[in-house]
Structures are given as C-alpha cells and as structure tokens.
Amino acid sequence: MNDLGEHHSEGFLQKCFDDLLMRLKEKCAEFYGDRLVSLLVYGSVGRGTMRPDSDIDLLIVAEPLPKGRIPRVREFDAVERSMKPYLDEARKHGIYAPLSPVFKTPYEIRLGSPLLLDMVEDSRILFDRDGFISKELTRLRERLTRLGSKRVWKGNAWYWDLKPDYRIGDIFEI
C-alpha cells in the first residue's frame, strides 16, 4: 500500500481508527487504573471526519495527576510505548495517527476550559466512570443553549459566537 497518497475508503479509515481507539482505551485503563476518570477523543477523529494523517486528540481525566504538563506527558510515555506496535501496524496501512493527549484532573475540568467547547459537539467518550465527563459536557451544552451560543463554520474551521445578542457592558458566564 502507498502512504498518505493512497485513497482509503471511509469504512477502512473508520475501522483502523476504531481499532486504535479500542487499544488506546485498554492501555489507558491498564496504566491509569483506578485513577482514570474519563477518556475521550475529540477533533476530526471524534467527529468521524479523520484523514490518514489525523492526530488522535485525547482528553484524559485522571486523579491524581502530576503537577504541570511536562510531568503528565512523561507519565503518558508508558501508554505511548505500549501503543507503539498498534501505531506501527497502522502505518503499514498508510495511517499516520500521532497521539495528542491533554491531561486534566476532575477539578480542572470543573474550572472550565475553552478546549471543552471543541468537545461539546465533536467528541466520542471511550471511558467515563460514573458519567463524569458526560455530565460536565451536558452542563456546558445547557449553558451554551441558554446563552443562544452558536458554532459558526468558515470552511473547515469554526468559531463560537458565545452570546449572539451581546451588547457592550453585558457580563455572562459560560
């Protein structure tokens, strides 16, 4: 098979990414154990519009986590090493899918983040102990609805108009 120039059928791509996500869920569950609260994929893979070179954008909610991004990434290296055989196999079929994780504790999720906006409509929950991330995304979705927020597409990108009826001096909370 060719590399990225090869035309993959939608079904072939979906199956390859589904297989990778299944393995990723297993490896995260093994590594984080009882610390794992939620695991979801977002971005193009979460939307189901992935390409052969799409990143696998992940949100890992765990507790406890090391302080700071670099220690969290270093900790995740163990998961990446365990995923290497599956990622290598995917490459043989022209699928180049690097892992792009974001790490948050439940407390950090509750504080909010603009990143969660990307997950409200375009995410796929792989693991969710006690429905934690599902409840948080539902709360955010409800707040966005109350504000009349709209996701506005411009080509392949979008932005959020969080309060379409905003007037200077209005104060609102997401």
Which pLDDT score, from 0 to 100, does residue 1 have?
Answer: 38
Residue of 173 and 82 predicted with greater confidence: 82
Which pLDDT score, from 0 to 100, does residue 3 have?
Answer: 42
Q: CB under 8 Å to 14, separation ≥6 — which residues?
A: 48, 50
Mean pLDDT of 144-157: 89
| Helices within 96-172 (DSSP H only) | 106-111, 115-121, 132-147
Mean pLDDT of 58-76: 97
Which pLDDT score, from 0 to 100, does residue 8 have?
Answer: 62
Which pLDDT score, from 0 to 100, does residue 106 have?
Answer: 98
Residue of 148 and 10 predicted with greater confidence: 148
Q: Which residue has the tokens 């791509």?
A: 13
pTM (two decimals):
0.89
